[in-house]
Amino acid sequence: MHFLDFKKKFNSYPVFSNREIEKIYPNWNRMNLRNWQHKKYILKLRNNWYAFTDREINEYFLFYVANKIYAPSYVSLESALSYHGLIPEMSFSISSVSTLKTEHFTNDIGNFMYSNLKKECFFGYELITYNDFTVKIAGVEKAVLDFLYLRKDIKTLDDVNSLRINTDVFHEKVDKKKLLNYSYLFNSKVLTQKLKLLLKTIDA
């Protein structure tokens, strides 16, 4: 198969998988992907997932990759808090949560980290459309709760203060009623205590 023919067919896909290729080309030879990787026409994101090397790589594309290569998942924790402006800008790793086991992938465009979250807590994400794709990212309230719930090292008021939460942005963007209602769904006394410490810091 000629690469240009393949690219014309899949150019609208931000990322593509072997399964998607084989739906269109049932007799597909997977050696093509290896050859095109070697020629730097495509890059491997993880086993069975690829993207064209001329694709624009920005924050939204990285979020989309994170959603696709390990599903179900949505961007959360430090990445979502940074996206919403609650903490200083993060770099390198894209942090997500998933109902699957904790996992970590590294490829040529970044590091992708996934923390396990129980199924009943897998909610509160938003769908954000950018150009030709849509990404799943925790809403600001859910990002706060996911972070507090999964960060085992946050125990004291000093730990909360060290997070450098932007209080102005917090007051502007966070719906405290939604935050509290979401927190009850975790059914976690530890999270409730951490949230009290955070709100004490924010309202100080």
Same domain, 31 and 76: no
Question: Could you tell me the pLDDT band of residue 91, with boundaries at 50, 70 and 90?
Answer: low
Total domains, the chain: 2
Q: Are residues 109 and 43 in the same domain?
A: no
Q: Find the mean pLDDT for residues 177-194.
A: 97
187 phi-psi bin (left φ>0, alpha ψ -120 to 50, beta other) = left
Task: Quote the mean pLDDT of the chain.
Answer: 95
Higher pLDDT, 142 or 201: 142
User: For 2-20, what is the mean pLDDT?
Assistant: 95
64 and 37 in a single domain? The answer is no
- Do 68 and 85 fall into the same domain? yes
- For residue 91, give the CATH number of its domain: 3.30.460
Supply the range of the domain harboring residue 13: 3-52
Exposure string over 1-26, b if 16+ CB within 10 A, otherwise e:
eeeeebeeebeebbbbbeeebeeeee
Please write the tens of the pLDDT for every residue from 39-75: 999 999 999 999 999 999 999 999 999 999 999 999 9
User: pLDDT tens digit string along 140-154?
Assistant: 999 999 999 999 999
Residues 108 and 193 both lie in one domain: yes
Residue 33 dihedral angles phi and psi, to the nearest 5°? -65, -40
Same domain, 19 and 105: no
pLDDT beyond 80 at 89: no
pLDDT score of 161 more than 90: no
Q: Are 95 and 81 in contact (CB under 8 A)?
A: no
Answer yes or no: are the C-beta atoms of 32 and 1 closer than 8 Å.
yes
- Mark whether 39 and 66 lie in a shared domain: no
pLDDT score, position 138? 98
Q: What is the pLDDT of residues 164-184, one digit of tens each?
A: 899 999 999 999 999 999 999
Q: How far apart are CA 94 and CA 37, in angstroms?
A: 23
